[in-house]
Amino acid sequence: MLPDSVFWTRQEPPNHGAQVAPGAPGRRAGECVAVGGATAQKPNPIVSRLAYQNWPAFAHMTKSRWCLLKRPEILTGNQKVKLKDLVCYNLQSVRAYLLKEDLQQLWNYKSTAWAAKFLDQWCRQVMRSRIEPMKKVATTLRAHRELILNYFRARKEFSSGVIEGLNNKQKSL
């Protein structure tokens, strides 16, 4: 049987800032969503043909990379249809996608306490999901929990752009 999906992650850069930008954890979670059709080695055509015939989800996974990586509001019509078909299957890649989209709700909170509660609950849910790359993201978010919550304590008034600019200048020296 073929694996549900192929996961890939990127090494985490060191964190020098005082807070985390709103999109950063979502991007990291998006990097862990399965990339359909991308494998480390060339697949065996006989196994692929058999899997395509016997496993209905395999047909939907082909050419579905951007359906899982893009934000739902920027999907094209065809991609929306393909994503709707994919969500019907209980694949690791689809579960990772749903967890990634759930994480985006974090940025809608105004209260630090509610944001902390949501973040803890999301990390707990991910740790029970048995999806190793997403567990790595949850571990990273737990390690940087206070930095993420600083964004809410500052009442979303400060951007991390200044800090990122200083970090880039420091790297160039």
Tokens of 152: 């809410």
Is 149:116 a contact under the CB 8 Å cutoff? yes
Per the document, the length of the chain is 173
* The model's pTM: 0.60
CA angle 158, 162, 163 (to 5 degrees): 95
Write out the chain's pLDDT in tens, 173 residues. Answer: 444 444 433 444 444 445 556 666 666 666 666 433 343 344 555 455 545 455 555 666 777 777 888 888 888 888 888 888 888 877 888 888 889 999 999 999 999 999 999 999 999 999 999 899 999 999 999 999 999 998 888 876 777 777 788 888 888 87
